[in-house]
A and B are shown apart, each in its own frame.
Chain A
């Protein structure tokens, strides 16, 4: 057993450098997903019928196709066909971000729908335009309610990011596999990778819980009140 332990210890700095790559991919994808997800949710709820339908198709597309297939489609397919030179790393962020935008839009949509109708009415009664009311009244509340959903989304994207290994992105899994095939210490290294993911999940959800507490409205519970 000491042999396997040594292998893991030797590989640890290399694996931890991989977790930096993983985290950049995850944070990048979540931010992209947020930036696209908010307008998608707003469009799906308040947009014209044609826009709603288009967003519905977008969400259906990105939720219905496996990540691996989308990674292959974008990296080997579209990037070559359209002659765009993107690194595997960038493609991983984009694809994970697009998928996440579809899921995040549904988180926001649910949050917006859970707000009482009176909020929008009161904003209109003050003379706010609908756009202003959504920006100043609806979204600040909906975003707060979405934090628990993000926590979930974070742990999903974190785990999904391991699939980026298929494109050769040097994240945790790719590095663990690389060392494993050279040292023949497969099981210890994969388990080490698993532990790193567990730790990252734990830290991330903990951080988001702190955020949730920080943005909480005193006395307010989403169930009503």
Chain B
């Protein structure tokens, strides 16, 4: 059996007396696309942010490529985060940098790559997400879909082993969702390991290698998409799936 790319065990987080994440455990193999579904407030976003310690989990352990992450060690944490790409719901592009600079800054400032070389790499990544013609534009001059594609290019340029996507299309107008989805689909075909939270059930079902259903900060059920959507064991999962299928139309 191969070592999973990422393994998390018993990840928990509480704010005061409110538990937002309780005992989340799973592992992701190379090339997997795990999709987190569940109602708003289920803890999907917290789980993703805990995985790269943007939110400090109260307990739990994480292994990347079989090596345990030591979040207390600052240098080690920064190295770990380079290997884990993060895509935010609201893009979080650096507002003072244009598209090219947004992708380049991590290469220059974090990886210490020479500016020219980093620039070339940034152009390649932006070309890959279809933004060759928008290199010099600032975030405020880009559409939501373009911003999200820049942020994907920014994460990809760091050569991550795994990508975390936190509802990457939920801040987008419906007509812009497609362009981001196609970039994500290409990433998946290229063999990228991904964990993504989304409400786009059709997209999830067509692409996911596994679905994780969360509610109230707990992982309720995980399994292959067809099993979760058609033969879920847990009543809550079935209820959620039928409700969301009703809301968003056909699942396929």
Q: Is the CB of B95 within 8 A of A122?
A: no
Q: Do the beta carbons of B154 and A126 come within 8 Å of each other?
A: yes
Q: Are A128 and B88 in contact (CB under 8 A)?
A: no
Which residue on B lies nearest to A128, using beta carbons? B110
Q: Assuming A118-B90, A127-B82, is B158 touching A217 (CB within 8 A)? A: no
Interface residues of A in 11-28 (CB under 8 A from B): none
* Contact status A217-B88, CB under 8 Å: no
Q: Is the CB of B78 within 8 A of A121?
A: no
Partner of A136, one of B84, B105, B155: B105
Chain B residues positioned under 8 Å from A2 (CB to CB): none
Report Cα–Cα, A80/B105, bound state, in Å: 50
Of the residues B74, B83, B86, B96, contact of A122 by C-beta under 8 Å:
B86
Smallest Cβ distance from A31 to chain B, in angstroms?
22
Q: What is the minimal beta-carbon distance from A186 to any residue of chain B, in angstroms?
A: 51
Q: Is B94 on the interface with A (CB-CB < 8 A)?
A: yes
* C-alpha spacing A221/B140, complex, angstroms: 8
CB-defined contacts of A64 to chain B, threshold 8 Å: none
On whether the beta carbons of B138 and A122 are closer than 8 Å, the reply is no
Mask of A107-150 contacts with B, CB within 8 angstroms, 1/0: 00000000110110111111111001000110011001000000
B94/A122 in contact, CB under 8 A: yes
Name A144's contact: one of B74, B92, B96 (CB within 8 Å).
Answer: B96
Which of B54, B75, B79, B110 has the largest count of A CB atoms less than 10 A from its CB?
B110
- A220 and B140 form a contact (CB under 8 A): yes
User: How distant is the Cα of A124 from the Cα of B94 in the complex, in angstroms?
Assistant: 12
Do residues A217 and B92 form an inter-chain contact, with CB atoms below 8 A? no
Residue B43 interfacial (CB < 8 Å): no
CB < 8 Å neighbour of B92 from A119, A129, A132, A140: A119
A136 touches B109 (CB 8 A): yes
Is A219 a contact of B81 with CB atoms below 8 Å? Answer: no
Q: How many residues does chain B have at the interface if contact means C-beta atoms less than 8 Å apart?
A: 35
A-B contact count (CB 8 A): 85
The answer to whether B141 and A126 touch across the interface, beta carbons within 8 angstroms, is: no
Q: Which residues of B contact A144 (CB under 8 A)?
A: 96
Q: How far is the CA of A85 from the CA of B83 in the complex (A)?
A: 56
Cβ–Cβ contact B88 & A122, under 8 A: yes
In contact, A220 and B138 (Cβ under 8 angstroms): yes
CB nearest neighbor in A for B151: A122
Q: Check if B93 is an interface residue, CB within 8 A of chain A.
A: yes
Closest to B54 in A: A121
A225 contacts the other chain (Cβ, under 8 Å)? yes
Query: A118 — which chain B residues lie within 8 A by C-beta?
Result: 88, 90-92
Q: Are A119 and B110 in contact (CB under 8 A)?
A: no
B139 at the A interface (CB under 8 A):
yes
Which residues B144-169 have CB closer than 8 A to chain A?
Answer: 151, 154-155, 158
Q: Is B193 interfacial (CB-CB < 8 Å)? A: no
Which chain B residues border A220 with CB–CB below 8 Å?
95-96, 138-140
Q: Are B92 and A127 in contact (CB under 8 A)?
A: no
CB-defined contacts of A217 to chain B, threshold 8 Å? 95-96, 138, 140
Known: A122-B92, A122-B94, A218-B138. 16 other contacts (CB 8 A): A119-B92, A119-B95, A121-B49, A125-B84, A126-B82, A126-B154, A127-B79, A127-B81, A128-B106, A128-B110, A129-B75, A132-B110, A136-B109, A141-B94, A220-B96, A220-B140
A-B contact pairs, 27 of them (CB 8 A): A118-B88, A118-B91, A118-B92, A121-B49, A122-B92, A122-B93, A122-B94, A122-B151, A123-B94, A124-B54, A126-B82, A126-B105, A126-B106, A127-B81, A127-B82, A127-B110, A128-B106, A136-B109, A141-B96, A217-B96, A217-B140, A218-B140, A218-B141, A219-B140, A220-B138, A220-B139, A220-B140
The 7 closest A-B pairs by CB, nearest first: A219-B140, A127-B82, A118-B92, A125-B86, A122-B92, A126-B106, A127-B81
